[in-house]
A and B are shown apart, each in its own frame.
Chain A
């Protein structure tokens, strides 16, 4: 069949019409080779004009169509729909961007018309090289991968499971519950954190639709929304979780003692340990870095001590592939390390601790059984809280973490409750008291006896030093005067940062980071739950500092978005614009393989030829561009089509 090309030139209201000579363009296009029809259209995207154009396409038996209108980002899909409604293959068209690339950037009418002629000519030349493409459909995978088992991840997993979805949770540490499970009382009502969170953790542990992989990491997630394959590596289970009942016989036998990170180093643990009292799953883990069995292979004390034969030094790591349709990223935060600045005396001045350490100190399962005491075991006569440690400074984090002021005031009330006579001081430059309860809570703190507020001239106008075994806090206030407090305990309200491994996680998952190092949202205002990569959702502090209720809400929101997008039994339409390998030309040199961002290329070892997994290919064209043998091409962007378009653009203008 001979090519019968139609060219529709959209006036786009006044946008294109006023910028160029439409009748001249119609005349020009109408005389190009193989063009059988050229028409102006008032507003191509309007329903009545779409219908009119579809009728024209059908009536004139057009085989190819050029839409000279706006950016294909705006309406390529619309115009493909017009072709479909006219009974044509939707890919037999070319959008020529007369509005953004011509009308809006060229103010001289004659010049704009001349450029438009070339652009239309290029589109007409190109479209003749288009071939019909048919999108393929595959089954949607309704299961979900949740990365991180803190409160955000758990709320997402539970919401999904309650709706019948299967969830796999991958958690890097040995226990679930994240940071919140280590707190004692929660803002604002002093609810017991363990009492609120543990039932949920227990639910998750016993939910047959939720599988939990602790001490595990995601190695890669390949594929497209609805059709991901996640590769997960689970560390060797040197303590068999099915045999271990958490009896602690092994712990008593272990000869190695190291600082306990779950109590901010305020006490110690063994090399085989249960993370903290009540941690779930309640099983022992071996810290291979410190275990003698793994350093010089001599010790076997825990294995001997275990009454259930649960210890297995020879266990090996396992790598699994998971078929999921969506991913929730809930990798949490880390507290700012105050040792990065010398002004706080952290690690050098006795009595200076982080807010996290205070949470453990005041915790009934913590190193002191919940007693607020100094390192020497005394109740402090004076406690100072320092706000904005590591936040709101060019040196570390520019952002305000938004929760540390309230956390510090909550801790002040915990001090007052336990130690009625102790003096409490707050050093801050500004207070962040958002939401419906914060002001009232703060007023309550101000009403307590023995609380002094010191307003600093800026967050960094403070220095802590040791004198006579006490911590001296000196801050410059707004009037320029130096305020000095002689404290026995100083609590630093540290910033909530993205965990140190976030850039690497971002690379593995192909997620963008924002300027502050958190995972970036698809849109900060209207799409704050979706990640940049389609099919990925963000929950909790990995997207930015937030409190527990906000993290839980975001986890639930992510679950909701997934349930709305991934319908069990549904189909996913694969983009038909994919790369193809010509097996007659491919030499199997593998140059493309290392470059594919989606891991879609593999080598068929028998044929020494590359193959493309179409469900993974997104048609980015990197392989086609680099293929040194010219063996790869991308459907819809063949070299012939691109050269034809260039030739059309460069063709001298006949007047």
Chain B
């Protein structure tokens, strides 16, 4: 068994969907286990921090890390994995850009705890106690002041984007690794062009789009064969890296940007806002302001997966 490539998988702050994208390999997972040695995978195997710490540096061929960096424990763990791995692969939107978890950066950790432990309607007896940080004995991991993407903490060699990543992409990357083909630096397992290029509705997009009212999905019936944008539904396909095979579009849902920006875009949300603003009809300022106001939850829409990785997303770097 000695020459088999070594693989590790780790789950930081995330929903578990990325782990699911591995489980979705189904029977192929058995082949993976046969051809590679999975040395660390807390969700499935009993291996601990100390086991990883005991490994040689760069002993692991490829480590897949999903989830955002939310806790001090995450930093400790990913730094250790960085040291022990030849390649670190950011797995899924949260590791890539902070993901939905990154929207927590709109609030302080204190506000988050207040909300989760005291203000949610399902809390029976407010005000209850808040988790205590530090102290003697076993301790709760500490919330970091802000959520970070993986590459804001350690060097990342490759990215598998998506929320969750397509199982085919996962299969391909794992297949490469078990056959000894480690990803080149800065590989993004997706297309270089934005999603529109592979969108089946591209040809229905008119030369000029003039949106007079932004609609939400529950407010309208839309033509399933026509580009969402001229129908007043915001779709972030023009801003989002392609490579997902337009899965959401195929399910008649507009793109929400989980694959992140293309390689030359610095701030996904700013690009998205510029793109949508360019389609707003008219020049009258008050009318435009009203039109802008009709966009529900703009941060949650334009920065849904990328706030932590955005220019303003983590606040000042320490």
Using CB atoms and an 8 Å cutoff, list the residues of chain A in contact with chain B.
584-591, 593-595, 608, 625-626, 628-631, 639
Contact = CB atoms under 8 A, between A and B. Distances in A.
Interface in B263-311: 263-266, 271-272, 274-275, 278-279
Closest 7 CB pairs of A and B: A630-B264, A587-B194, A594-B208, A589-B238, A587-B197, A589-B196, A628-B275
B242 A587 contact: yes
Query: Is chain B's interface secondary structure helix, strand, loop, or mixed overall?
Result: loop
A60 B271 CA distance: 43
Interface in B227-245: 237-239, 242
B202 interface: yes
Given A593-B207, A594-B209, A595-B278, A628 B265 contact: yes
B310 to A, nearest CB: 15
B197 A591 contact: no
Interface size class of B (residues with CB under 8 A): 20 to 34
Interface of B: 192-197, 202, 205-209, 237-239, 242, 261-266, 271-272, 274-275, 278-279
16 contacts: A585-B264, A586-B193, A587-B197, A587-B237, A587-B242, A589-B197, A589-B237, A593-B208, A594-B278, A608-B197, A608-B202, A628-B272, A629-B264, A630-B261, A631-B264, A639-B264
A600 to B, nearest CB: 14
B262 A585 contact: yes
A629 B208 contact: no
Most chain A beta-carbon contacts within 10 A, residue among B193, B205, B264, B274:
B193
A371 B238 CA distance: 70
A626 B193 contact: no
A193 to B, nearest CB: 43
A318 B318 CA distance: 67
Query: Is chain A's interface secondary structure helix, strand, loop, or mixed overall?
Result: loop
Contacts, number: 74
Contacts of B208: 593-594
Contacts of A631: 193, 262, 264
B193 A629 contact: yes
A591 B274 CA distance: 10
A241 to B, nearest CB: 35
Nearest to A586: B193
Nearest to A584: B192
A629 B278 contact: no
Contact of B193 (A587, A590, A593, A625): A587
B192 A589 contact: no
A594 B206 CA distance: 9
Nearest to B277: A626
A566 to B, nearest CB: 32
A588 B197 contact: yes
Contact of B192 (A585, A590, A591): A585
Contacts of B196: 587-589
A628 B194 contact: yes
Given A587-B237, A628-B274, 15 more contacts: A584-B193, A585-B262, A587-B238, A588-B197, A589-B205, A590-B205, A591-B238, A593-B208, A625-B274, A626-B274, A628-B265, A628-B272, A629-B264, A630-B264, A631-B193
B268 to A, nearest CB: 9
Given A585-B193, A585-B264, A590 B207 contact: yes
Contact of B265 (A588, A590, A608, A629): A629
Contacts of A591: 238, 275, 278-279
A634 to B, nearest CB: 13
Contacts of A626: 274-275, 278
Contact of B262 (A588, A593, A630, A639): A630
Most chain B beta-carbon contacts within 10 A, residue among A590, A625, A626:
A590
Nearest to B241: A629
A594 B197 contact: no
Given A628-B275, A630-B262, A587 B195 contact: yes
Contacts of B265: 628-630
